[in-house]
Structure 1
Amino acid sequence: MSNPLLLPWNTPFGLPPFAQISDDDFAPAFEAALAEARANVAAIADNPEPPTFANTIEALELADASLGRVLGVFYNLAGADSNPARQALQREFSPKLAAYGSEITMNKALFARIEALWARRGDLGLTPEQERVLMLTRRSFVRAGAQLDGAPAERLKEVKERLAVLGTQFTQNLLADESEWFMELSEADLEGLPDFVLAAARAAAQERGIEGHVITLSRSLIVPFLQFSPRRELRRKAFEAWCARGANGGETDNRAITVETLALREERARLLGYENFSAFKLETEMAKTPEAVRDLLMAVWAPAKAQADADAEVLQEMMRADGINGDLEAWDWRYYAEKRRKAEHDLDEAELKPFLQLDKMIEAAFDCATRLFGLGFKPLDLPLYHPDVRAWEVLRDGRHMAVFIGDYFARASKRSGAWCSAMRSQKKLGGEVRPIVVNVCNFAKPEAGQPALLSFDDARTLFHEFGHALHQMLSDVTYESISGTSVARDFVELPSQLYEHWLSVPEVLSRYAVHAETGEPMPKDLLDRLLKAQNFDMGFQTVEYVASALVDLAFHSGPAPADTMARQAEILEEIGMPKAIRMRHATPQFAHVFAGDGYSSGYYSYMWSEVMDADAFAAFEEAGDPFDAEMAQRLESRILSTGGSEEAETLYTDFRGRMPGVEALLKGRGLVAAE
């Protein structure tokens, strides 16, 4: 019992003792915790006492507490700071966890107890929250195959185990492609690159032990390179490497994985009695059906494509003015869009970035949470899992609310993107537990002694992930299964996307957007230009996103394709994808969809939530104050604190009085609906 993952954590706030944990501890801790969880579940199923909510449902909620603790540490590290040992453990753990899940949901004695409770639920004297947990527990068992027997049940178990293996393999292949590729720049190649790009490229070179400058496939480095480099062939080389992730041939190629994954998901859905995987997946979401999702996406696609087509003509003319007679290509768009933004809005990234310091944007996100919800943030000096990582204690009126961990810089060991996770979720069952919440981003790391500078899009990402963190930190429910972000997938993005709006509040920017060298606030003229240009290039941004969402939906709502790349091309042809814009996430790197089931047939959910977030922020505007106390209290009490304790539509309607239409979204994006 010397394994630190299994011992009591006598650390401040019960944080994992990172300094004492080695990779060798994970496998034995996992096996011990898994055995304990299995024994606990068997004890529930075999209990000779009649089933009660306490001895069945609540006992299940607590059955895998040790396993959750071990995996909460492991999977956070595996995503944010991977290494070969952790990758091998992921490959080992994923099928075992899938098998364990199937054992539980296909345990006939256990399901019989749940069914018995469900049959007499009206006589159990349950609270509304308990009724909800009972319903969700039973539904999860049914959707996992609890009512299947014999060969179909065994086959479903095999399918889920194989899908777990494929999702892990997809993630690791993508990380390998992203971390291995880089492009060295000669002195001549540095032409046109502003200081912040040069500094990031030097820092990336130093991380790889190289003199000079390199461009990597980190979004925070490659995007500004594409925006500013006048060297078209270099832009093309970098862009094509970015698009080729997961499709380079060899061991890290993801294309065959996507084909097998879609076939297995379709088989899973049919085993459970659904026409296709999308029908299965969307049944429990706000959207309910593939048709409802497609209707929303196409309502946005038409005006977005019209805008993008018009913008492409402008950029093509700019390219001709530069003496380039070929067609506008995907590696040209960002370069000419940046030049156009400078010309039309007198705004460029190089002028803006010194005013968007990472530390100041963190302060801004914290300050908005203080003004809205009364939260305070106290820096913690504690051992964490990487030197770049920071932590704060979150307090309200002297009460401990959470520990918030921020991991902001890109590194080769971190998967791409940005996300929020919880090493520990809030719950009250078995005693009050407050969460440990982690925000992970991939911002370009500065050179030693220099401030980290963000793009406006980076700053928006920081606010977005912090909105997810607030959903976790303000959670106030009894049961962990409905805590924090445990809500419908197309509702989970509402708090995060809504919080982005506060970044654009002028009084927030005027206070926290201060120059990195002079400390002077952003001039009002620049602030006005920034806010006026917020919807610049929105046709491009909307098209690249909606195209990805439509491909995801089509993959899962029709027959599984034999060739995902050919099917992707067909879908893009059908919708009239503009030639010079690519999907935001092409199939071989579409981790949202193929790294696990999370956003499979669910990438649309960002836009579904955006319909609500545009309308929800309008409530604050109608109140006349973005920090209106009564509206903030309603937001917390009806959405942020409630987790999944009620249906998402009920929660939103309670907050706003009605469900919104797509008009607020189109208005917010500056798009006019097509006739």
Structure 2
Amino acid sequence: MNPELTHWTGPQGLPRFDLIEDSDFAPAFDRELAGAEAAIEAIAANPEPASFENTVAAMELAEDGLNRVLSVFYNLVGVDSNPRRQELQRDFAPRLADYSSRITMDPRLYARVKAVAQTADQLAPQDRRITELALRNLTRAGAGLDEAGRKRMAQISARMAVLTTEFAQNVLTDERDYVLPIPDDRLAGLPDWLLRAMRAAAKERGLAGQIVTLNRSLIVPFLEYSQERGLRETAFKAWAARGSGDGAGGAATNNLPLITEILALRHERAQLLGYQDFAAYKLEPEMAGDAQTVEDLLMQVWGPATRRAAEDEAKLTAMLRDDGVNGPLEPWDWRLYAERLRQREHDFDAAQVTPYLTLDAMLGAVFDVAHKLYRLEFEAFEAPLLSPDVRAWRVTRDGQLMAIFLGDFFARPSKRSGAWCSALQMQHKIGKGQRPIVVNVCNFTPPEQAGAPAFLSWDDAHTLFHEFGHATHHILSDVTWPSIAGTSVAQDFVELPSQLYEHWLEQPAVLDAHARHFETGAPLPADLRDRLLAAGNADAGFSTTEYLESALVDLALHRGAPARDAMARQAEVLAELGAPGAIPMRHATPHFAHVFSGNSYASGYYSYMWSEVMDADAFAAFEETGDIFDPETARRLEDTILSKGGSQPADELWIAFRERMPGVEALLRGRGLI
């Protein structure tokens, strides 16, 4: 076995990715899986009476080697997939599910954890917390069921692992394989920065000219600026078709049969555990608590959002008529005319801002905000990383190491879409302890040539800040146990730090200091900055509506009996809502990776808005001081939330920071919907 997979010897304790081959993963996985199984078996079979140390604490340490192997592997699969890695992923998934099922449904282990939990009031607070969570996890996994129930739960877990892996790979295939060449005589309306990005995408694929791919950082601005309605329609329909059987992969990447089976298995799992449906099961441990509470929140926003969207649709349709189009406003029209409306009503063209939003400039802003709030320092260093264009920084405070931060910012055909934050290594204080290794992954359009600046859209800049907000949750983590470190919190609380961090991007002081023209170095002109910020909510009706559609469909798919036809159920929900035809779901069901490539956001896509209710109120705490970098408020935020991980229930952490629960009004005001 390649020892580099478990004993990382690279700079700053990183894995030596240059010494790891795909052929290394299978033997390392076999060995470490066997080692973890042996360690867990020793805990379960221990003849000594159950104690915190020999049971719950021992469980925290049992899988360290396996976790290190899987951390390297799954980070690579996400950012640089290939057929061999996909094959390994399909092999590992059911075996990991089987292993997990045997642990979480072992009656011996369950009895031991239950015995420790009965004396939990004698434990230190964090020890008591991980004991309570361990018992809850075992119970929700089915450890308390009879033998037949445990057997069926194991079968469900194994099958789900296969289905969710296949779902994700199908979406990746459709995104990777689609290319729309744009002829030289059909470039009307496209700004120079977008043309450079389209040519860079073509060059990366060995093609001439310029192309549109399904990378969000490319297709969205194409839809915003292209005057070629037919090409916009072609590109949009390809984007919407991912995973439907009509995408680039055809029937081979059709996710609809997978979705039907996933929904049925989730429902069966919930009912085996005594819940009415999967939504009831999933939401029980979250801040929201139940599906009705979630629906009530979303519907409080639905009315204001769709009213604003209807007002905008009337304006956009009139503009469409002025262009001589007599048919209805279509989804592939909305972004173009919304951008024109923004320009008209706010005297603002987003293309004017992009030359000031280079990746390096916005990284400088991200790091400067972290320094002002939390006194963090960032020092770049060289290392063999996941891909040649990944960058690394050593993060310190007062000379002490806080974390290693990796940034993988550019789209590539082998990377799955979207943006996310992961950790190669979690923070903990066991033994000598360890600091986290955090990875931010984005899909920005790479520069046309090596050494040239990479340009971000305003949406991209928000994504950069958002993912670094997640990173702060890891970097500032200060808990004893890895299972409650960093972002290991309730799903509807995890987006609070990320969405809160986005607020600083929109502050004039931050833009004035860091938004610089890529050629002249001149700062973003104050009048352009003010128009940019004033136009920030110009299309809030659209963006809020498309999000709510996805969140409400997700919730509906997991309430009651499972849908036999997910697309019919999707259509039914949208019809009941009276959803605008020109505003489709942000993530249609066949490519809704949040929900169907894993379980984290299943019945939980609402959590972005749940967290936004809090992030609007949290930023108000800074504004109330008159200083958006107020050190006392930043220290309280770190002490009560960012350093605590999942060491306390989320509502307790929030109240410790803000001393009250928030209402939806701040969110509506922040989005300009009231």
Query: Which range, TM-score by smaller chain?
Result: over 0.9
Other-structure match for 2:296: 295
Consecutive unaligned residues in structure 1, runs of 5 or more? none
Query: How far, CA to CA, are the matches of 1:606 and 1:121 in structure 2?
Result: 33
Query: How far, CA to CA, are the matches of 2:362 and 2:119 in structure 1?
Result: 52
Q: 1:35 to 1:293 in 2, by over 3 A?
A: same
Per-residue displacement from partner, 1:589-620 (whole Å, max 9, x unpaired)? 00000000010000000000000000000000
Alignment map for 1:130-529 (pairs within 5 Å): 130-247=127-244, 248=246, 249-448=250-449, 449-529=451-531
Q: Which moved more, 1:56-65 or 1:113-122?
A: 113-122
Contact 1:173 1:246 in 2 (8 A): yes
Contact 2:9 2:15 in 1 (8 A): no
Other-structure match for 2:613: 611
Per-residue displacement from partner, 1:386-445 (whole Å, max 9, x unpaired)? 111000000000001110000000110000000000000000113211000000000011
> In structure 2, the residue corresponding to 1:407 is in which secondary structure?
strand
Query: How far, CA to CA, are the matches of 2:279 and 2:132 in structure 1?
Result: 22
Structure 1: which amino acid aligns with 2:232? Answer: R
Contact 1:487 1:648 in 2 (8 A): yes
Q: Which moved more, 1:419-428 or 1:43-52?
A: 43-52
Other-structure match for 2:559: 557
Query: How far, CA to CA, are the matches of 1:460 and 1:192 in structure 2?
Result: 24
Alignment map for 1:534-553 (pairs within 5 Å): 534-553=536-555
**1:382: how far off?**
1.0
> In structure 1, the residue corresponding to 2:149 is in which secondary structure?
helix
Structure 2: which amino acid aligns with 1:382? Answer: A
> In structure 2, the residue corresponding to 1:405 is in which secondary structure?
strand
Structure 2: which amino acid aligns with 1:62? Answer: L
> In structure 2, the residue corresponding to 1:491 is in which secondary structure?
coil
Structure 2: which amino acid aligns with 1:4? Answer: E
Other-structure match for 2:86: 87
Alignment map for 1:49-88 (pairs within 5 Å): 49-88=48-87
Per-residue displacement from partner, 1:483-510 (whole Å, max 9, x unpaired)? 0000000000000000000101110000
Contact 2:39 2:62 in 1 (8 A): yes
Contact 1:192 1:230 in 2 (8 A): yes
**1:11: how far off?**
2.6
**1:3: how far off?**
4.1
Other-structure match for 1:667: 669
Q: Which moved more, 1:145-154 or 1:213-222?
A: 145-154
> In structure 2, the residue corresponding to 1:490 is in which secondary structure?
coil
Structure 2: which amino acid aligns with 1:470? Answer: T
Per-residue displacement from partner, 1:538-562 (whole Å, max 9, x unpaired)? 0000000000000000000121101
**1:120: how far off?**
2.5
Query: How far, CA to CA, are the matches of 2:462 and 2:673 in structure 1?
Result: 20
Query: How far, CA to CA, are the matches of 2:2 and 2:93 in structure 1?
Result: 25
Number of corresponding residues:
669
Contact 2:427 2:479 in 1 (8 A): yes
Contact 2:10 2:383 in 1 (8 A): no
> In structure 1, the residue corresponding to 2:403 is in which secondary structure?
strand
Contact 1:3 1:25 in 2 (8 A): no
Contact 1:4 1:25 in 2 (8 A): no
> In structure 2, the residue corresponding to 1:402 is in which secondary structure?
strand
Query: How far, CA to CA, are the matches of 1:120 and 1:10 in structure 2?
Result: 41
Contact 1:166 1:257 in 2 (8 A): yes
Per-residue displacement from partner, 1:80-106 (whole Å, max 9, x unpaired)? 111111101110011111111111111
Contact 2:641 2:654 in 1 (8 A): yes
Query: How far, CA to CA, are the matches of 2:11 and 2:385 in structure 1?
Result: 12
Structure 2: which amino acid aligns with 1:386? Answer: S
Contact 2:2 2:24 in 1 (8 A): no
> In structure 1, the residue corresponding to 2:242 is in which secondary structure?
coil
Q: Which moved more, 1:309-318 or 1:144-153?
A: 144-153
Structure 1: which amino acid aligns with 2:4? Answer: P
RMSD (Å) for aligned C-alpha atoms: 0.8
**1:12: how far off?**
2.4
Structure 1: which amino acid aligns with 2:293? Answer: A
Q: 1:648 aligns with which of 644, 647, 650?
A: 650
Aligned structure 1 segments of 4 or more residues deviating by more than 4 angstroms:
none
